[in-house]
Amino acid sequence: MEEGQTVPIIYALANQKGGVGKTTTAVNVGACLAQWGKRVLLVDIDPQANATSSLGIDKQTASPSIYDLLVRDVPIVRAIRKTKQKGLEVVPSTPALAGATVELVDMPQRERRLHQALNGLYRNAYDYIFIDCPPSLGILTVNALTATTGVLIPVQCEYLALEGLSQLIRAIELVRRSLNPNLTLRGVVLTMYDARTTLARQVVEEVRRFFPGRVFDTIIPRNVRLSEAPSYGEPILSYAPNSAGARAYTALAHELLTGDGLVEQDI
């Protein structure tokens, strides 16, 4: 990025377990921040391309996509798409990205391809960039961790919630030491909480013991509207603004803003 420009806050949403709410959190926190006037870019670096389709973009035909940025050096500004939510834009993914894990192997600076792509953004383009990672610790997630300043880890309030998290923390530390000294753990987001079960409450306590002082106060509940919204290509704020899921993600976005020192009086 050019000297003198405003540097966006960049967060990667990572967890090698699938189905924990990475995409749901990226899409809906981004939509909340955009509704409050923040300029938000969502970068979908998952070959499943769920963030792309959740925002109403056809993942089969999206072109250029994140694949073209990483493998073919297409400028990022050519890949950015507007969404139905004003202020929220996306760099789409496609299933072709699955092949990038092989194609990147012999490329120079393979771990920094996304970082280099983000350097091509216009001056003062965004306040926030969210990177939705695949459920793995492979080269795509390493690219995200190298390009970001903070990691958000969604953890579902279910059995074996902490399984594999030690490996993720080790990966974050390794990237910090070797590729990105500014990398930090921004926080853990508890998702899929069912207040009716003792297990869910026990998981919340266990996660908070495992990550002392790093867990957001807001807990995302299990909510059918959150599950339905992606099929309509909309964030929860527009699909079901009065739902429990919408209220929870609004609270989480406000908590994130508060921690980043960017809360404004009219929010």
pLDDT at 67: 96
pLDDT at 101: 83
Helix axes of 244-260 and 22-35: crossing angle, nearest 10 degrees: 70
Give the distance from CA 146 to its chain's centroid: 14
Is residue 159 left, alpha or beta, with left meaning phi > 0 and alpha meaning psi from -120 to 50?
beta
CB contact at 8 A, 24 and 193: no
Which domains does the chain possess?
9-258 (3.40.50.300)
CA distance 161 to 165: 8
Strand duo 150-156 + 184-193: pairing: parallel
What pLDDT band is residue 4 in, cutting at 50, 70 and 90? very low
pLDDT at 3: 46
* pTM attached to this predicted model: 0.94
What pLDDT band is residue 164 in, cutting at 50, 70 and 90? confident
Q: Locate 111 and state its tokens.
A: 């771990």
pLDDT of 237 > 50? The answer is yes
Per residue in 106-117, pLDDT (tens digit) is 888 999 999 999
pLDDT at 247: 98
What sign does the dihedral 200-201-202-207 (CA atoms) show?
A: positive
C-alpha torsion angle, residues 44, 11, 54, 137 (rounded to 10):
50
CA distance 155 to 222: 13
What pLDDT band is residue 73 in, cutting at 50, 70 and 90? very high
pLDDT of 251 > 80? The answer is yes
pLDDT of 5 > 60? The answer is no
What pLDDT band is residue 267 in, cutting at 50, 70 and 90? very low
- Mean pLDDT, range 146-150, rounded to an integer: 95
Residue of higher predicted confidence among 5 and 48:
48
CA distance 115 to 251: 30
